[in-house]
Amino acid sequence: MQSIKFLHQTLAFLLELCMLAAMGRWAYLQGKTPWAKYSFAFLIIAFAVVLWAYFAAPKSPNRLMLEYRIIFEFLLFGIACWMLYSTGLHKYAWIFGITVLVSLCLEFYFEKK
């Protein structure tokens, strides 16, 4: 069971990185000039990192309770999934979304135990 939990934690971290990449890609594509593209991408990613660090990071003193954290993570991952889908990467958005759902279910299972 420990190896499955470790694999899940690794998957969850990779999904967080994918979420940031999807948000950055979407934000980059919204800009008209190179400066705007990079600035918007940086700001969106920074905002997501700050929210995640404040509400969902394991060592955060303000970490949400499990039920609220699952909802928070679902919303952030859902936004990233929509951003990925809206940039034309439909297949990857579906794969990302399904993987996120599996990961959130596993997170709920492991933390309730």
Main-chain phi, psi angles of 40, to 5 degrees: -65, -40
Rounded distance between C-alpha atoms, residue 31 and residue 22, angstroms:
15
pTM of the model: 0.93
**3-class secondary structure, 43:** helix
Q: Each residue of 38-72: pLDDT tens digit?
A: 999 999 999 999 999 999 999 999 999 999 999 99
d(CA 35, CA 37): 5
The 10 Å Cβ neighbour count of residue 14 is: 12
* 76-92 residue pLDDT tens: 999 999 999 999 999 99
CB 92 within 8 Å of CB 19: no
HSE toward the beta carbon, residue 28, CA cutoff 13 A: 11
